[in-house]
Copies of this chain bind each other. A is one copy, B any other.
């Protein structure tokens, strides 16, 4: 028996890069948070402190900033692919790279009803995400792209039931045929191609998920999520699967009866913790293998 080094990776996390396009009077802005991670033969650094194969994380940072100009930064999926390919192709000890990106959306300020050329207001709603993995040099190169979002908060004030559930000795919950259903959705979808209109696809997926959440009469958050995922896969044949993490943000009907006040599903307490947590995925049954696409941080949480 002996003790050995296991899986490992390293990189520079959370580079906050803002890229402005100002080639015309109407500027464009892309505001991202980029994390790089490299995998490869870095055993000597761990075992002996020998950095000979280790490209500093500072260098990864410099590259990420410079590529925002050299290669451009419009779609985060394309930018992430450029960066990952560079590390794998051009840095000898690197066998794999993973680039994770968050993008913060801005909308134009309105002046006298018109969109301003160079003033922006940070848009809320969801944060767009991407996770790009490239492994193998030259002809052996393989690529996986995951798109997604987080923090998309959805709520419906009716059209949601919950009953007929399994019960045991610890079950106190009462069934309901009309409740608020709310979640802060995380969704990630796996592409089977890199020849994609990333922007149109993102907008389309979001619109399908929101409208399906609205349109489905819900008997369970699980059911709603499944319908949302299925609708996305039906619309976009180049998606292999979609994974969703959905906290059930409980809104408890407040008991006003002690005060002689009727509460006909009108006043709720939005509770913090605990919350239900549903995680579900929807797949094509002929989806190609995911490989390391979902591997976050080399196997780490």
Query: Which residue of the partner chain, among B66, B265, B274, contacts A15 with CB atoms under 8 Å?
Result: B274
Contact across chains for B220 and A54 when beta carbons are under 8 A apart: yes
How far is the CB of A160 from the nearest CB of chain B, in Å?
A: 10
Q: Which of B18, B281, B284 contacts A1 (CB 8 A)?
A: B284
Contact B59 A170 (CB under 8 A): yes
Contact of A121 among B65, B167, B210 (CB under 8 A): B210
- A37: chain B residues within 8 A (beta carbon): 277, 279
Binary flags per residue of A1-35, CB closer than 8 Å to B gives 1, else 0: 11111111111111111111110000101010001
State A42–B279 Cα separation when bound (angstroms). 12
Number of chain A residues close to chain B: CB under 8 A:
149
B274–A61 contact, CB under 8 A?
yes
Determine the chain B residues whose CB is within 8 A of the CB of A207 once the complex forms. 110
Given A2-B285, A10-B277, A46:B154 Cβ within 8 A: no
Given A69-B266, A120-B155: A35 and B5 interface contact (C-beta under 8 Å): no
Q: Bound complex: CA of A122 vs CA of B150, how far in Å?
A: 13
Chain B: which residue is nearest A212 at the CB level?
B111
Contact B62 A121 (CB under 8 A): no
**In the complex, per-residue mask of A37-63: 1 if CB is within 8 Å of any chain B CB, else 0:** 100001001111111111111110111
- The reply to whether B7 and A222 form a contact with Cβ atoms under 8 Å apart is no
Q: Which of A132-140, A193-201, A247-255 contacts B (4 or more CB under 8 A)?
A: A247-255
Are A18 and B50 touching (Cβ within 8 A)? no
Any B CB within 8 A of the CB of A191: no
- Contact: A120 with B152, CB < 8 Å? no
Given contacts A219-B50, A284-B3, A285-B4, contact A269 B65 (CB under 8 A): yes
Is A238's beta carbon under 8 Å from chain B? no
Q: Is A153 an interface residue (CB 8 A)?
A: yes
Please state if A48 and B223 are interface contacts (CB–CB under 8 Å). yes
Q: Which residues of B contact A9 (CB under 8 A)?
A: 279
Residues of B within 8 A of A8 (CB): 222, 278-281
Indicate if the CB atoms of B163 and A31 lie closer than 8 Å.
no
Cβ contact within 8 Å between A3 and B285: yes
Q: Which of B58, B121, B222 contacts A154 (CB 8 A)?
A: B121
Given contacts A16-B269, A52-B164, A164-B51, is CB(A153)–CB(B226) below 8 Å? no
**Chain B residues near A233 (CB-CB < 8 A):** 3
Query: Closest approach, in angstroms, between the C-beta of A237 and any C-beta of chain B?
Result: 9
Can you identify 6 A-B contacts, CB atoms within 8 angstroms? A5-B226, A14-B275, A18-B180, A46-B223, A65-B269, A123-B125
Given contacts A16-B272, A49-B220, 13 further A-B contacts (CB under 8 A): A3-B282, A8-B281, A10-B279, A12-B274, A14-B273, A16-B274, A20-B265, A22-B157, A22-B266, A54-B222, A59-B172, A65-B254, A301-B301
